[in-house]
Amino acid sequence: MVKFSYTILYVKNVVQAIEFYENAFGLECRFLHESKDYAELETGGTTLAFATNDLAKSNLPDGFLENDRDRPPAGIEVGFVADDVSAVYESAIEAGALALVKPKVKPWGQTVAYVRDLDGILIEICTSM
């Protein structure tokens, strides 16, 4: 049996990324390696983790595309469910997120908004389905 356990986001600075997600979304750091090259946030059932680009390069010798706010986002997003999408959207922007799409009610009734984090990673903020 396979169980989805965690997602690792590759970032320039793990400490800055953790601080951003704490300030923007109220999440708490549950582990920060002494090297500051890896950290995990407490998010519930699935771990959201961060590793430096340098650590990723050591694990992926053939390279990868680094996240960058100056380029379009990668074809993946991190999704956070919130009761008050507008409040979380504003909190993320105040913490330094790049605003992409203001909260909007979709035809199926779900409210959805999009921002990008400090490294340009796409984040969806939405109500539950």
Straight-line distance from the first to the last Cα atom of the chain, in angstroms, rounded to the nearest whole number: 27
pLDDT band for 129, please (50, 70, 90 cuts). confident
Mean of all residue pLDDT scores within the chain: 96
34-55 pLDDT, tens digit each = 999 999 999 988 899 999 999 9
CATH 3.10.180.10 fits 6-126, yes or no: yes
- 106, two tokens: 């979709």
| Domain definitions of the chain by residue range | 6-126
Alpha-carbon span 112 to 109, nearest angstrom: 10
Specify the pTM: 0.94
Q: Give the β-pairing of 28-32 and 6-11.
A: unpaired
Sheet strand arrangement including 111-116: 77-81, 122-126, 111-116, 98-105
